[in-house]
Amino acid sequence: MKGKLIIVSGPSGSGKSTVTKLVKDRLNIPLSISATTRQPRTGEINGKDYFFLTKEIFEQKIKNDEFYEYANVHGNYYGTLKEVVENNLSKGLNVILEIDVQGALIAKEKKKDAILVFFRTKDMETLENRLRNRKTDTEEVIQLRLKNAAKELEYEPKYDYTIINNDIKHSCQELIDIINS
């Protein structure tokens, strides 16, 4: 039996990363490793954190249609290799990808049976409070994230499921129920 591809997206601060990590650990779902052309950061390991590729190799893989989705972010490519995902799915393992909304829709085009799950907060005020309470971003970055969130929310109707993340435990159970359905 083939595994399911679950694609999770949502605004920064919606809690998608926290919930996704907890669910992956709870269900023992393998982490799908992305490819990138950026340089490894201290402690990052090729094949564990990312597949670190040269720009030339990455662009050749684009030409060969080897990605479900990819994007150029701040001058570096990031992408989801089909081979990595398909290898796990063919073993009957479920795979969760946490990617941006544009990438999710592109991946869905290539993998029609992928399940799209959108994470959001109940309102923008809650989202703003979460971003501020992180105390990791400047005011300028917070405003940019809020502006981006407003754009990302426009994609929500294109998703199969929405999880309004008011409570991490409840949201984890919702995502588990979606995966198991």
List binding-site positions.
10-17
Q: Is 162 helix (H, G, I), strand (E, B) or coil?
A: strand
- Cβ-based burial of 95 (10 A; exposed 0-12, middle 13-18, buried ≥19): buried
Q: Which residue has the tokens 């994609």?
A: 155
Sign of the four-CA dihedral 35, 37, 40, 41:
negative
Q: Which two tokens stand for residue 95?
A: 């795979």
Q: Which two tokens stand for residue 17?
A: 């990363």
Q: In what order do the strands lie in the sheet with 95-98?
A: 95-98, 5-9, 115-120, 161-164
Q: How far apart are CA 64 and CA 129, in angstroms?
A: 43
Taking CA atoms, 11 is separated from 4, 21, 109, 152, in Å, by 23, 16, 21, 6
Binding residues for ATP: 10-17
